[in-house]
Homo-oligomer: A and B are copies of this chain.
Amino acid sequence: MVWTVRSLAERLGLRHQGAGDRPITGVASLTSAGPDDLTFVSHTAYLDALANTRAGAVIVSTDHAGRAPCAVLLSDNPYAAYARAAQLLCVEHSPAGIDPSAVVASDASVGADVHIGPRAVVEAGATIGDGAFIGAGAFVGRDARVGVGTRLGPNAVLAHGCEMGARCRVQAGAVIGADGFGYARDGAEWVRIPQLGRVRVGDDVDIGANTTIDRGALDDTVLEDGVKLDNLIQIAHNVHIGAHTAMAACTGVAGSARIGSRCTVGGAATILGHLEIVDDVHLNAMSFVTKSITLPGSYSSGLPVENSASWRRMVARFRRLEDLARRVTHLEREKSDKST
């Protein structure tokens, strides 16, 4: 399929101006785009680059359309419109078919137009929805379910009984449904508690490379629709994450935490277990959440770097803060003794 400025505009529901017949075959940045490329402007800082772009078309807000030397598609949210256009223009290469080196159980249910890559394994009772993509070396355990159009990257693991909705994207090496970390103490020993729940993932959920999402102990671990998780994130057993919440990389969420919808987590955050975070909470990078957050808003706890010599002095002062506070109290008392 060849897109043109006009057909793209129609598909995206946008107005357009200029050469509607121009064929568009790819996307590129303002400065590197050529005459067959679509680009976009999302910030006034790029208006000079816009004036000089060699792109075939640009997605831009009405305010700045006059600066474009090429065809324009008009959008109030050029970045989101660009994202949708790029999805149309850059279709992923995934011919349907089961590679002869894949191991697919005879009683697995495999939909239409499914791609199962070399060395992938699909166990007994698993269901693979229409148009799904199972990457090379990926593993789908027994009775697991992969929704319509969902993609598992190379060597990703979806363990037995776990379920993913439609149009999800799981990057390489992610592990969904490993055993939760559950033990009962008995003297010095830890007695393992079998992890009998599953992971249930909604539609349009993305899971990053080498991210791990543990199965529940008795009930399930749940990710609602539209959740987006970056790489190397840990989601412990029985966590519940509300719709459209997004987390940047290296974040860890401990067991049974309940995180609301439309939250954002800025990366390398640590969220303790058995607490609740309401909807629309925004945690900055390196946040440490130790108790429930009951009000929407922005929260932080990371201390930014200083020159190491300064930092050492600051830490020493911090350790003597109790002493400093006592000295101030002492000064206040003396003064008040004097005035009486």
Residues on A close to B: CB < 8 A?
27-29, 32, 77, 79-80, 82-84, 86-87, 90, 93, 99, 101, 103, 117-119, 121, 123, 135-137, 139, 141-142, 153-155, 157, 159-160, 169, 171-173, 175, 178-179, 181, 183-186, 188-194, 196, 206, 208-210, 212, 214, 218-219, 226, 228, 230-232, 234, 236, 243-244, 246, 248-250, 252, 254, 261-262, 267-268, 270, 272, 283-291, 293, 297-309, 311-315, 317-322, 324-325, 327-328, 331-332, 334-335
A212-B231 contact in complex given A178-B172, A244-B189, A303-B303, C-beta closer than 8 Å: yes
Please indicate the chain B residues that have their CB under 8 angstroms from the CB of A290 in the complex.
Answer: 285, 302, 304-305
Please indicate the chain B residues that have their CB under 8 angstroms from the CB of A118 in the complex.
Answer: 103, 121
Please indicate the chain B residues that have their CB under 8 angstroms from the CB of A192 in the complex.
Answer: 83, 87, 169, 206
Contact B93 A142 (CB under 8 A): yes
In the complex formed, the residue of B with least CB distance to A290 is: B304
A210 to B103, CA, bound (A): 23
Say which residue of B82, B218, B246, B254 sits within 8 Å of A28 (CB atoms).
B218
Say which residue of B181, B193, B289 sits within 8 Å of A304 (CB atoms).
B289
Say which residue of B32, B189, B297, B328 sits within 8 Å of A218 (CB atoms).
B32
Contact A196 B248 (CB under 8 A): no
Contact A183 B252 (CB under 8 A): no
Number of copies of this chain that the complex holds: 3
A329 to B262, CA, bound (A): 42
Query: Which one of A154, A230, A324, A332 has the greatest number of beta carbons of chain B within 10 Å?
Result: A154
List 9 A-B pairs, Cβ < 8 Å: A82-B193, A121-B137, A135-B139, A171-B179, A210-B212, A230-B236, A290-B304, A299-B306, A321-B321
Minimum distance in angstroms from A196 CB to a CB of chain B: 6
Minimum distance in angstroms from A111 CB to a CB of chain B: 21
Please indicate the chain B residues that have their CB under 8 angstroms from the CB of A299 in the complex.
Answer: 305-308, 311
Contact A90 B194 (CB under 8 A): yes
Minimum distance in angstroms from A335 CB to a CB of chain B: 7
In the complex formed, the residue of B with least CB distance to A100 is: B103
Minimum distance in angstroms from A317 CB to a CB of chain B: 4
Closest 9 CB pairs of A and B: A178-B209, A298-B308, A80-B184, A80-B186, A250-B252, A171-B178, A83-B191, A103-B118, A79-B184
